[in-house]
Amino acid sequence: MNLDEVPSKARLPTKNGEFNIRVFHEKETGFDHVALYMGDMSGPDPVLVRVHSECLTGDAFGSLRCDCGPQLNAALNAISEKGWGVLLYLRQEGRGIGLHAKIQAYHLQDHGADTLDANLMLGLPGDARNYQMASIMLKTLNVNDVCLLSNNPDKAKQLEKYGIRVSQRVPLVVGVDAENEEYLRTKVNRMGHEIEFGDE
């Protein structure tokens, strides 16, 4: 059997519903990114899409330092309830700085730095993510018009720069607690995210 002839896509039943999984290899970085999708992508409505950057601590370990795990679960639930949509899982750990540097940033945060300053103190960008690969994945799935589940306006701008129409951006505010409220407020006050808190 020629392995190149075996597609990297399959059925993936989950606790959130039955999805299809497809892996996209990015030659420039060597990373394998994932699309989970269900239903017909042909429209006519914009496709419900979540572009989720990898977060080992939040997604796999249930860390309360961030809202990543609850966002991932809520997005899959939203797609399942609608019956069609796409979740892209991009290998951009720690807002693109990698796992090692992310844990170093956590150490600095434990000693008083906020989530943005911690990255900058390490000589790294506050947010190093790039969404060109996301646009390639969406176009391959015949998705060109999306309803984006995100609190980050820059994510929508980047997708549009790469040729994906963002007809609507829907906030995804879940998992806010005492452990991560300061982190989330930094994202609002210093990084342009749009999150409404219960006291507002």
**SS3 readout for 39-73:** CCCCCCCCEEEEEEECCHHHHHCCCCCCCHHHHHH
Which has the higher per-residue pLDDT, 103 or 127? Answer: 103
- What DSSP string describes 94-129? HHHT-HHHHHHHHHHHHTT--HHHHHHHTT--S---
% of residues, the chain, pLDDT over 70: 98
Mean pLDDT of the chain: 91
pTM of the model: 0.92
Domain ranges of the chain: 8-92+129-191
pLDDT attached to residue 3: 72
Rounded to an integer, the average pLDDT of 50-56 is: 97
Is the pLDDT score of 199 beyond 60?
Answer: no
* Catalytic (active-site) positions: 127, 129
pLDDT digits (tens, 9 = 90+) for 55-90: 999 999 999 999 999 999 999 999 999 999 999 999
pLDDT attached to residue 187: 81
CATH assignment of 8-92+129-191, among 3.40.50.10990, 2.40.110.10, 1.20.1440.230, 3.20.20.100: 3.40.50.10990
Which pLDDT band holds residue 50 (cuts at 50, 70, 90)?
very high
Which pLDDT band holds residue 103 (cuts at 50, 70, 90)?
very high
> Using alpha carbons only, what angle is made at residue 185 by residues 179 and 189, rounded to the nearest 5 degrees?
160
Neighbour tally for 126: CB within 10 Å: 17
Is the pLDDT score of 97 beyond 80?
Answer: yes
pLDDT digits (tens, 9 = 90+) for 110-130: 999 999 999 999 999 988 999
Euclidean distance between CA atoms 23 and 29, whole angstroms: 14
- Kindly list the distances between the CA atom of residue 35 and the CA atoms of 22, 59, 177, 187, in Å, as whole numbers in the listed order: 5, 16, 29, 26
Which phi and psi (to 5°) does residue 182 adopt?
A: -65, -40
Euclidean distance between CA atoms 175 and 14, whole angstroms: 21
pLDDT digits (tens, 9 = 90+) for 139-163: 999 999 999 999 999 999 999 999 9
Is the pLDDT score of 196 beyond 90?
Answer: no
